[in-house]
Amino acid sequence: MAEIGQKTLLDSGWLAARSTDVQLTGTQLTTTHPPTSPTSPWMEAVVPGTVLATLVENKVVGDPFYGLENETILDIADSGREYYTFWFFTKFQCKLSGTQHLDLNFRAINYSAELYLNGHKRVLPKGMFRRHSLEVTDILNPDGSNLLAVLVHPPDHPGSIPPAGGQGGDHEIGKDVATQYVEGWDWIAPVRDRNTGIWDEVSISVTGPVKIIDPHLVSSFFDRYTRVYLHATTELENRSSWVAECSLNIQVTTELEGSVCLMEHLKTQHVSIPPRARIQYTFPQLFFYKPNLWWPNGMGKQSLYNVSITVDVKGHGESDSWGQLFGFRKIESHIDCATGGRLFKVNGQPIFIRGGNWILSDCLLRLSKERYKTDIKFHADMNLNMIRCWGGGLAERPEFYHYCDVYGLLVWQEFWITGDVDGRGVPVSNPNSPLDHDLFMLCARDTSQSENITSVEGLSTAYKDPSQYLDGTRVYIQGSMWDGFANGKGGFTDGPYEIQNPEDPFKDNFYKYGFNPEVGSVGIPVAATIRATMPREGWQIPLFKKLPNGYTEEVPNPIWQYHKYLPYSKPGKVHDQIELYGTPKDLDDFCLKAQLVNYIQYRALLEGWTSRMWSKYTGVLIWKTQNPWTGLRGQFYDHLLDQTAGFFGCRCAAEPIHVQLNLATYFIEVVNTTAEELSNVAIEASVWDLEGACPYYKVFDKLSLPPKKVVSISEMKYPKSKNPKPVFFLLLKLYHVSNYSIVSRNFYWLHVSGGDYKLLEPYRNKRIPLKITSKTFIKGSSYEVEMKVLNKSKKPDPKTLTYKNNFAVRNDDSDFDMTSLEPIPDTRADLKQPTGLFQRLYRQFSRESDGLRVAEINGSDGGVAFFLNFSVHGAKMEHEEGEDSRILPVHYSDNYFSLVPGEEMSIKISFKVPPGFFLLGSSIHASFVKNPENLYPIEDFKDSNNAIVVWNSLLGMYSRCGTLTDLTKLFDEMPIRDTISWNTMVSGFLRNGKFDEGFSYFKQMRKSGICWFDQATLTTILSACDRVEFYHVVKMMHGLVFSNGYGKEISVGNSLITSYFRCGCLSSGRQVFAEMFERNVITWTAMISGLVQNELYEKSLELFNQMRSGPVCPNSLTYLSSLMACSGLQALTGGRQIHSLLWKLGIQSEVCIESSLMDMYSKCGQVTDAWKIFESAQDLDEVSMTVILMGLAQNGFEEEAKRFFMKMFESGIEIDPNMLSAVLGVFSEDTSLSLGKQIHSLSIKRNFGFNSYVNNGLINMYSKCGDLEESAKVFSRMSQRNSISWNSMIAAFARHGDGCRALQLYEEMRSDGIAPTDVTFLSLLHACSHVGLVEKGMELLKSMTDVYGIIPRAEHYACVVDMLGRAGLLNEAKTFMQGLPLKADVLVWQALLGTCSIRGDSKIGKYAANQLILETPESPVPYVSMANIYSSRGKWKERARTIKRMKEIGVSKEIGISWIETEKKVHSFVVQDRMHPQAELMYGILEELLKLMLEEGYVPGNVTPTECQT
């Protein structure tokens, strides 16, 4: 069941069937005859996805991406629309309560549909790009089980495919509002079902009476971006039949350095909404001073604020919520007068556009958040800054825009019209498409309103201006090709889209306009991708046909031709670029040489454009960056998400600051696209030949590079020198002179004019020695590998100080930024930590690594290590020969790189291991599968024994990896099994929390009759029984122990003791211990720790002393348990004695021991000793951090605890719920509420919202800081509440004087089945005291003992005395005290005296004061209270005598402190305080205020301005 404001995705459990195969109506499908399983005609459906995706998944048709399989799939033009009209069916659970409402949401379907829910029909109208949200509250089944069927129809005009193909087929699809690429293009084959299906997200969402609809965020800027306003508007729909009184909240948070969340704004507005009404509400604008701005990739950080809106309805709590990341940015665009091209500005800075054209991620619309993340991050990794969503594809999904925001990609949105399908093409298409103009505009409006996207730069529709639906912050142009994009006058040319001579993009005549929205080139992937996507006949490389004019024509095989292969030659213009390296021999050779060309092509294309930045060009967009299928042209990475070398050529060329060689002029140039001048830099240029010699070396120093400029440095002299080598390498490095850190590195391989690269062919046989040092960090299935690759063939020249390639850190976000943390200064003298403490902690917490590994590639040759590339491979449990073993996607900081002799390069790699892949374990399994004699025994007993060992080892590996599916499969395939096999299965499931399955295998083991359980079986099962509900299982296992003769086994006895104590059965655990014939250290430790776990601390210490006097010596765990007992008893002396023993034994530095020592000293009030241990600790973990944090908090070091917590954040230490709970506990009335809100934001971000300890801490924090409303919100949102939760909320109401609400909550607590505690009654009595409910209070006090058996403490009696006194019943209070079962202590007397002070009763007050003086003679409380009582009665002589007596005995009054929070900082002050740095200003303002008061007629008497400071 979804919670209020959250959606539940319906993305699994769907079935699908062709409509003509289903003889039932939608009503029958969702009432009496629902499909129950994927049996014909029903099959498992891909939702979100298309009909074709479902057919492919079920192998009904072949994979249209593989070879020529698409040709075997029936096209909708031949089959008719009914063939691809499909039913989709699913079930979902939802049971509403009270005033809840349910929406069924379809983010998009193609093209129209009828929907049936529990027999009720709804219609989803036409249009591929419109949202559908249906309120279905009234048609849900009362039992919560709901049946949903959707009949989806294809587009109305699917069209047909002409024999010659063409751009958009016969263009009929353009008559509908749908994707236009689906009829095929020159880069994709036709999509047979035209993307029919439920292609986007389906969800249900629960709201209360009021629903939030399409909030919209806009920012406005003033004073050079220092003053910014956020404007938020939303629609609100009241679905109830009564006026909804709403609290509408908007919250804005941001993430600071080190993952610290800062609450920027939290505003609440009251809104009344009439019944069944829908209103639009605009929040008061929110002001931000110097906010962090959002910048495009390469220009700065992508700062994003988290904006959340919630609506609470009076009497119903939270009704709906909404959240969105939002970046402050101002985007402008105009025609550049210098170039004629369109110029873009972000936050006032001109942005030189280097971007790409995007179609969509997958043409079967199998779209996922993870794939979008990879796609967009790839674009950011290439240093691109804009994506143009081409008009023939999608308007894209929210996940696409989310990651564009995160990674800094501007988006140009084309909507859904292309020129080829709207007035152009062969045959000429309909110029007025689509047929339904209103539907197009409705979809455009819906798309614009549904997305609050920071990155969207502009829109174009080639149709009609939709700007009436926009917010004024985005540019509208009718067409990005022909309307003011290229030259500002309507003129344009697109392309070229083919292979180029590398020097051509640098020439003036390459492209005549200022901005090119489409220019493309080749894009063959690596050989592994060809093999993975084509049968063997597709592995044939093109024929190289020599033409009479000396050029080469490439003739591809039919499969390559079908996949739109773009040749690497252009006869008459460009010689075959692959042949420059020699005629390729096979697929591997062809694809490797193609990567060399890919790198050069795209680097030259972008460097040529950048060379004319602002002088000729304002930007360029590559056609395309990727393909939505297995195409063979125009891509930086293939559909399997493996990068081509062109990816890294682009990454190199598009650097924000870049050194390059102009291939037309041979001048070295530096491009600075940033807004900052780069000074004191130098360029190192070195030429290397194929023998490893360096015939040319030059440094250009003392350079300054102005912002937004291209600087020509010097002409390269080498090729013009005597005897240049026919093939040579050029390495350019731009670096800071001060520290030799590299800003830009660029490596070229070049040939002399008229030459080629054929000498590189024999160079491939060279063995260049390499040293690769790597370190792997593993978190779950995520891997990060840091490598250093060294070319060992020559020692570096000592004059050359850049050989280690220490790259300067870019000032923007990057997944590869692993720079060291800065030292954090300490602010507390008596708790001082050494420099670097938090760096050490951070390193400690990041130790999930395989350690440092060194690999040597031996070689005797010297020279450049050329065109090195990495790939990551794994193995599956079932691995077929020739199967693709690559793990994809992988993010590389660089690849296809080269190293000159002595040079070292750092490479960082990150990836996730997909399910079913293992990097080592299953590789070993695979090797056994290839050698089956190791797995399958023959008659020889020895071979059988060896085989079972191998099988069991593999079982153990899968068990420990937690891959239970593979574990089960392997177990089922085992030809023989023994007890170890069964034990491994039992252990594997129990260890992974699958108790039913684990116990089931144990039962099967006993029934098998072949294998019998042993002591390992028993201990495995007993170790899993760690909760009260397993008590009967432990008893059963205990019986099996004795009935099968394992009673004397010491390991079994130890397990029984542990299990009994964990299940709370202390007597049984003690009995097992007493009856054991033999005891070892584990036995004693189990017993001692069990007693500690059950809070029998004294008994545990007695047993510990008994153990020490016997023959068995304690171990670390024994001492650990004993320290925990000392903590529980606050036994400092005993704890110090154990600490001394640990020193003698030399085990005091073990991590768990140090944590326990810190806890013991903290609990005993010796926080300084605890801190000393923390300071000296070599290894620390999260437990240590939490212990010291709680120690500071619980011993009066609240400010230090908060500072300590903040430093943990800033150091990148992972924060867990225990740490948050600990720091929330230090908040009090004088604590900054804004800090508490930041911590609340952090808890939301870290998904700690379901942790009861964190929520309880938040309730207390907000109530102590004065925000009772927020406390109540936290409490109302808790899905599970324990007694502490209820106590915290009751205490909050009591603290704020709302006694009636506190008592009401107490009744709700009882009805919820939660038993009250002594803390509950303390809060209730406090509440009764403040609202005068004396009878109720006395009734509660009586029920404590009579009903709940709770013995009242002095605090409870003090509350009762206070309650009676406040009600004026002082004599009754005195009488009550005299009848107490225990002697009244300080708290009780203070309560009586305090109420006497309130009531002005000097008689009883004097009696109470005298008693208090006897109890605490040094306390000022009785004297001050009596002085106040005398003052209130006008007894000035008695007051004077009291003050005099107070001075005579040397008792001084504590100074009262007040505080106020301004600018997120708490300021404390006392009477006549002049310590504040702005004291004089404040006193001056008070003087002015007093003058104004006097003018208004105020008579101050004897009060002076100075005395007003209180």
Give the 3-state secondary structure of residue 517: strand
Burial class (CB in 10 A: 0-12, 13-18, 19+), 1228: exposed
Residue 250 has pLDDT above 50, yes or no: yes
Residues 351-378 pLDDT 10s: 999 999 999 999 999 999 999 999 999 9
Return the higher-pLDDT residue of 776 and 463.
776
**CA-CA distance, 701 to 716, in Å (whole number)?**
15
Task: Please check the confidence at residue 1074 and state whether its pLDDT lies above 50.
Answer: yes
Q: Which sequence positions are flagged as catalytic? A: 451, 518
What pLDDT sits at residue 925? Answer: 47
Place of tokens 């060309």: 597
Q: Kindly give, in sequence order, each residue whose CB lies less than 8 Å from that of residue 1504, ignoring residues fewer than 6 positions away.
A: none
At 873-929, the pLDDT tens digits run: 875 545 455 578 889 999 999 999 999 999 999 999 999 887 655 554 444 444 444
Mean pLDDT, rounded, of the chain: 84
Q: What is the mean pLDDT of residues 1446-1464?
A: 58
The sign of the dihedral angle between the CA atoms of 1378, 1380, 1382, 1387 is negative
Contact 1274, 1220 (CB under 8 A): no
Phi first, then psi: what are they for 607, rounded to 5°? -65, -35
At residue 313, the pLDDT reads: 94
Within 8 A by CB and 6+ apart from 798, the residues are none
Cβ neighbours of 1476 (radius 10 Å): 13
Of the pLDDT bands very low, low, confident and very high (cuts 50, 70, 90), residue 1261 is: confident
Reported as a single tens digit per residue, the pLDDT across 1416-1432 is: 766 666 667 666 666 66
1012 pLDDT higher than 50:
yes
CA distance 506 to 662: 7
Q: Give tens-digit pLDDT for 297-335.
A: 999 999 999 999 999 999 888 999 999 999 999 999 889
pLDDT of residue 1499: 62
At residue 593 the predicted structure's pLDDT band, cuts being 50, 70 and 90, is very high
pTM, to two decimals: 0.70
pLDDT over threshold 90, residue 242: yes
Query: Over 60: is that where the pLDDT of 831 sits?
Result: no
- Return the minimum-mean-pLDDT range out of 160-174, 321-335, 830-844: 830-844
Q: What is the pLDDT of residue 1045?
A: 83
Burial class of residue 1381 (count of CB atoms within 10 Å of its CB; 0-12, 13-18, 19+): exposed
Q: What is the pLDDT of residue 349?
A: 96
SS3 content of the chain, % helix, strand, coil (to 5): 40, 20, 40
Phi, psi of 412 (to 5 degrees): -105, 120
Residue 1510 has pLDDT above 50, yes or no: no
The band of 972, judged by pLDDT with boundaries at 50, 70 and 90, is confident
Please report the pLDDT score of residue 1472 as a whole number.
Answer: 60
Percent residues over pLDDT 90 in the chain: 45
Instruction: State residue 418's pLDDT score.
Output: 82
Give the rounded percent of residues in the chain with a pLDDT score beyond 70. Answer: 84
Q: Which residues contact 1288 (CB under 8 A, 6 or more apart)?
A: 1256, 1259, 1260, 1263, 1271, 1275
* pLDDT, tens digit, 9 for 90 and up, residues 186-226: 999 999 999 999 999 999 999 999 999 999 999 999 999 99
At 941 the pLDDT is: 41
The span from the CA of 604 to the CA of 381, in Å, is 18
Range scoring the smallest mean pLDDT among 129-143, 688-702, 879-893: 879-893
- Give the residue among 250, 131, 117, 272 at the shortest CA–CA distance from 201: 131
pLDDT > 50? residue 823: no
Residue indicated by tokens 């129990």: 990
Tell me the C-alpha to C-alpha distance, in Å, between residue 941 and each of 669, 917, 948, 951, 1293.
Answer: 75, 34, 11, 15, 77
For residue 846, pLDDT beyond 80: no
Residue 1013 has pLDDT above 70, yes or no: yes
**DSSP string computed for 833-880:** --TTHHHHHHHHHT--EEEEEEEEE--S--S-EEEE----B-EESS--
Rounded Cα distance between 1324 and 1322, Å, is 6
User: Which residues on neighbouring strands pair with residue 749, listed in sequence order?
Assistant: 729
Residue 1470: pLDDT above 60? no
Give the separation between CA 453 and CA 389, rounded to whole angstroms.
14
Return the closest-CA partner of residue 435 out of 168, 178, 199. 178
> Which of 240-249, 622-631, 893-902, 1097-1106 is predicted least confidently?
1097-1106
Higher pLDDT, residue 19 or 831:
19
pLDDT band at residue 1142 using 50, 70 and 90 as cut-offs: confident
Question: CA–CA separation, 256 vs 1210, rounded Å?
Answer: 9
